[in-house]
Amino acid sequence: MLARFIVRAIFAAVGLAIAAHLVPGVGYASLGSLIAAALLLGIVNAFVRPVIFVLTLPLTIVTLGLFLLVVNAAMIGLVAMLLSGFHVNGLLPGVLAAIVTGVTSWIGGMVLGDAKR
């Protein structure tokens, strides 16, 4: 289970690095801060995101799920607020970083296989 978390954090770090290179307004100071951001993003997604998801469920239903992009951007923004070596300048860079990181994590999930089956 811990090894799975570490591999998922590596995929998240790769996604954040790709986002930092592709999306203006997203960046990191060093490799250490990138890894710390990925680990912190995993923790935030495990504990904070479910609460935010439940609180914003009506808005998510009305927008046919598109509001989840904003929720994911908020989680990346929260990581940027908590970590000084990682920054996101605004909502649009956050949403674009959430898309890039989400696609990378999805690919990582496919590589790892689904543990729920």
From residue 12, alpha-carbon distances to 16, 55, 59, 63 in Å are 6, 25, 26, 26
Q: Where are the alpha helices (DSSP H) in the chain?
A: 2-22, 31-47, 49-55, 57-62, 67-82, 91-112
Each residue's pLDDT tens digit, 73-85? 999 999 999 999 9
Each residue's pLDDT tens digit, 43-74? 999 999 999 999 999 999 999 999 999 999 99
**Two structure tokens written together for 43:** 């923790």
Distance CA 103, CA 106 (A): 5
Domain edges within the chain: 2-111
pTM value?
A: 0.90
Report DSSP state, residue 30.
S
